[in-house]
Structure 1
Amino acid sequence: MHTHGTEVQQKAIMLLRSGVRNADVARELGVPVGTIGHWLHLNRARHGTLPGKTHRPCPRCDGRELDHAAYAYLLGLYLGDGHIIQYSQHRAPSLMIACSESWPGLIDECKAAMRRVFPDNSVCQARRPGCRSVKVYSKHLWCVFPQHGPGKKHDRLIALEPWQQSIVDAHPWKFIRGLFHSDGCRITNWTTRLVAGERKRYEYPRYFFTNKSDDIRKLCSDTLTKVGVEWTTLARGSDPFNISVARRASVALMDKHVGPKY
Structure 2
Amino acid sequence: MATRPPLRVLFFDVFGTTVAQRTPVADELWRAAKEALESDKSAISDEVRSKATKMSYKQWFELGGEWDKDVDEFVSDSKAKYGSVDWRAIDKYRFESLHKQLAKLGLSIPREAGSTSELRIREGSLWDDSQLKFICHIWHRLPPWPDTCRGLELLNTKFSTVTLSNTYQDLMEHLVAHSSIPFQLFYTADMFQSYKPNPKVYLGAAEKMGVKPEECGLVAAHLNDLKGAKTCGFYAIYVERPLEEKNPELQEENIPDIEIKEGEGGFVALAERLGIQVS
Classify the TM-score, shorter chain: under 0.3
- Higher RCO (Cα < 8 Å, 6 or more apart): 2
Give the number of the structure whose residues are more often helix, by fraction.
2
Q: TM-score, normalised by structure 2?
A: 0.26
Structure exhibiting the larger radius of gyration computed from Cα positions = 1
Q: TM-score, normalised by structure 1?
A: 0.27
Give the number of the structure whose residues are more often strand, by fraction.
1
